[in-house]
Every structure is written in C-alpha cells, then in structure tokens.
Amino acid sequence: MENNGEKNKKVSKSPSFSLRSPSLNALRLQRIFDLFDHNGDGFITLEELSQALSRLGLNANLSDLKSTVESYIQPGNTGLNFEDFSSLHKTLDDCFFAGDDDDLSSPAAADESDLAEAFKVFDENGDGFICARELQAVLKKLGLPEGGEMERVERMIISVDRNKDGRVDFFEFKNMMRTVKQIS
C-alpha cells in the first residue's frame, strides 16, 4: 500500500488470528467467548477478560484493558455480550491486520491454509503429528476441563486416529475439522 509515496507500516497477519472461512471464524469466536465467559452468564467482564488473557500469557494492565474495552460494553451490561465481543474482535482485526490477506487462488486453498495453520497450533514440536501430550497442553492453556485428564485427551485422539498410530496427522485433523464444519 502506498500513501503519498510512503509505505504504510503494516503488521503481518497472524494466521491463527483470523481464519478465511467465515463459518469457522464465527464458530471459533463463539468458543473463545464461551471460554472467556468463565461464569457462563453471557457476559465477559473486565476481570474475566484479564484472567483469560493471563492464562494465555498476555498479561494486560486492568486500567489499559478498561480503556480499550469500555466503549464496546452496552449501557446497563456488566460486560461484553457476544455481539460486543464480535465488534471488538472485528475492530482489532481491522486495526492491526487489515490489508494483509494472502492472495490464495481459491476458497479451497484458503481453507487448506487455515487448517494447516490451526494444525500447527496443536503440533507444538513440529513433527507433523498431534500427540496426546500436545493436545493436553493446548487444552490446558485454553482453560478447558478436558485438559485436566490425560485419559480423556487420549480418548479424543483415538476418536479421530484413523490409522491407529496413537497420534493425529494432518489428514486426520483435516477430516475431523471438516466434520465439525459440516455439523455447525
């Protein structure tokens, strides 16, 4: 992008921040909202948001967080409802990552790229497989109760492990994600 002959400073888009598939992005955003809404009341308070960001290793000053989020909270609400959270997400996405879309030739190629990036989040050691330990680590980081029991995590792996090698490869992951996408 050029502006008066100068290049605008642009942040590289994090592939895990925004998926190109609107239905997967909406589903992911709803799941994030549900995780952040710790007490399940339909609102994310500033305290819940601060705690969720801390669990992800993103310690935010509560007063800075308040100044950023306050304008998105509807009058009379105790925190962000899902629509408010979606608006905040869109604004942050547009502000920090606008104009940095990859030029992928087809929606199928874009979906494949999104799935590959999602797979990398779980494949912490980069060996091309998701083992139970890696899945458990991600579930714990997200604060999901499933991450507390290795037996449950192993059952999750077994449920998608078609070749019975005890790990999930990219093709098994892709098949599982497509099944989730069709259900939603």
Where does residue 127 rank: exposed (0-12), middle (13-18), buried (19+ CB within 10 A)? exposed
Q: pLDDT (tens digit, 9 = 90+) per residue, 130-141?
A: 999 999 998 888
Whole-angstrom CA distances from 100 to 10, 103, 105, 118 are 8, 9, 15, 18
Identify the weakest region by mean pLDDT among 24-38, 108-122, 142-156, 160-174: 108-122
Query: pLDDT tens for residues 38-59?
Result: 999 999 999 999 888 888 777 7
pLDDT tens, 59-107? 778 888 888 888 888 889 999 999 999 888 887 776 665 544 444 455 6
